[in-house]
Amino acid sequence: MLLIPIIIFMPDSGNSCMDEKQIIQDNSFPSEEVNTMLSVEMGSTAVLCCSSVPLTTLELITWKITLRGQPVCMRAYKKQTNETSNNCTDDGITWVSRPDLSPHLQINAVAVAHDGNYTCEAATYSGYFLLRYELQVLVRPEANIFLSKNQTVVCEAVAGRPAARISWIPAGHCVTTKEGHSNGTVTVRSACRYPDSNVSAVTCLVSHSTGNKSLSEVFLPSGSRSPASSLLIILYVKLSVFIVVLVILGFAFYQKINASSKIRSPVLENETQT
């Protein structure tokens, strides 16, 4: 038995099948069994490759699919009678093309529900080939960072699968919690407090199987601003607003006086002529 771990985020049917073909050719025993760990990101298209022996030698191809919490279902093709059978209800799991042209399986728009075991049994005149896939669906978390009260910054990785890891630069007084969801995803939330007034910016590092992300937040700790300076800022804002209001009222009053003078001028001219 040969165990081969593989991680794929954007599956490529050509590259995946070439890898399996090399395995079979390098280990061309009458009976061959290969177990593969396969990780695929949700929303992508996954191609699960069956035996790469020549199609002319294949007699029977059977895919056995066991999704998490579901009974096994099968897709099969018998070359002698050119017959296919299928009792799987998920329309997103199909042959790559026609089974007489390719024995490979395709999962369109991978979802968490596709997590499970996929086994290809290929029978030929010369031997029996068995490929097992343990498929794990990865879900990219949504990363956020925001300021909270008491000089605390919160970083969260929402609904990831598996759970993300969160670290901080610089390190603070941090508390990390995890919340599991019914669909198998996990939200990780880390709250860090920075009582040191010299810290004005922090960076949160979110590590996940689908990729890493860094988020930064700039804040001014309350300890670095005195009550007197805060009061001056408030007075400055209020004074600025008061000046703006005075300017607007003065301009409106000027416009009104100017309009009145234009109306009175023709009247005075008429009186002078009479």
- For residue 35, the number of C-alpha atoms closer than 13 Å in the C-beta half-sphere is 5
CATH fold of 2-138 reads Immunoglobulin-like (2.60.40)
State pLDDT tens for residues 246-272: 777 777 776 777 666 655 555 445 555
Question: Would the pLDDT of 171 be above 80?
Answer: yes
Q: What CATH number should be reported for the domain whose range is 142-224?
A: 2.60.40.10
Residues 195, 176: Cα–Cα separation, whole Å? 18
pTM: 0.68
**Best-predicted range by mean pLDDT (21-25, 89-93, 122-126, 221-225):** 89-93
Least confident range of 7-16, 206-215, 225-234: 7-16
Question: Would the pLDDT of 38 be above 90?
Answer: yes
State pLDDT tens for residues 197-220: 688 889 999 999 999 999 998 865
Domain borders along the chain are: 2-138, 142-224, 230-256
Nearby residues of 274 by Cβ (< 8 Å), 6 or more positions away: none
Residues 107, 136: Cα–Cα separation, whole Å? 13
2-138 and 142-224 agree in CATH topology: yes
